[in-house]
Amino acid sequence: MLFDTHAHYDDERFSKDADELLSSMNANNVGLIMNSCSSTDDIPRIFEFIKRYPFVYASVGVHPSETEKLTEKDMDILAEAAAHPKVKAIGEIGLDYYYNDPPRDIQKKWFARQIDLARELKLPIIIHDRDAHADTLSILREHHAEDIGGVFHCYSGSAEMVREVLDLNMYVAFGGTLTFKKSVRPAEAVKAVPLDRILIETDSPYLTPEPHRGKRNSSLYIHYVAEKLADILDMSCDDIEKITTENGLRCFNIQEDI
Ligand code: NI
């Protein structure tokens, strides 16, 4: 069974059919899903999913684009939600310099604060790094993220940067962008990651892989990512499935036989 390590079923694009979709996962070889959180407003909906579906786990955290109005009260909300046994990470947190909104200093402040929260709670982190590699790495180092580990979601760095990511005890997750034509750089990055540190994800409803690019994404398309990975690494899909699922369980400390 495949493990989609990053999806957003609380997104409004799933408001009509999230249950229908999630009910169809196991019959389609999707055995585990990590629902990633973007703001404290998402938490009630995410909790409905983790309570209803045994194979859905969650993170709680605030995406860099949502940090403008954050206060310490939000950190209390995250800490309280993280007490649920199916909350396995703090995320997605990080820096987004593509939009630069809110300003960088606000994004940096709350990225650092949420790393510290993860450390207090002894949870790994899910990192969103868009066009912000240098600052992301330096904040992770300053706040000793290597002690808690986690994952660079939708990895967009270079093959050279992989070494620095590994030194921080992070896993490296690849998604639909790997299947896009002209995506030479991610393929090189894939080859630079040791097999025991690779994860796969969809980031549903975003980043739909080929051949469905342009449509809404769902975890039912995770196999396209696995197949592309198998192709790049010259391995069988079965091996990729086994390896990435085991890695996901280890990354998020999930005790489950699958
Ligand atoms: Ni995401």
The residue to which tokens 């993860």 are assigned: 118
Ligand 1 midpoint to CA 35 (Å): 9
Instruction: Sketch the domain layout of the chain as residue ranges.
Output: 2-251
**pLDDT per position as a tens digit, 35-85:** 999 999 999 999 999 999 999 999 999 999 999 999 999 999 999 999 999
Ligand 1 midpoint to CA 36 (Å): 6
- Name, in order, each residue with C-beta under 8 angstroms of 155's C-beta and a sequence gap of 6 or more: 165, 172, 173, 174, 186, 189
Ligand 1 midpoint to CA 63 (Å): 8
- For residue 134, what are its two tokens? 């240098």
Ligand 1 midpoint to CA 243 (Å): 22
**pLDDT per position as a tens digit, 2-29:** 999 999 999 999 999 999 999 999 999 9
* Sequence-ordered strand ranges (E) for the chain: 2-7, 30-35, 56-60, 87-96, 125-130, 150-152, 170-174, 198-200
Ligand 1 midpoint to CA 89 (Å): 13
Q: Which amino acid is it at 225?
A: V
Kindly indicate whether the domain formed by 2-251 is annotated with CATH number 1.20.1560.10: no
- For residue 41, what are its two tokens? 């407003």
- Name, in order, each residue with C-beta under 8 angstroms of 125's C-beta and a sequence gap of 6 or more: 61, 89, 90, 91, 93, 114, 115, 118, 145, 148, 149, 150, 151
Lowest mean pLDDT among 10-14, 36-40, 182-186, 224-228: 182-186
Whether this model's pTM surpasses 0.95? yes
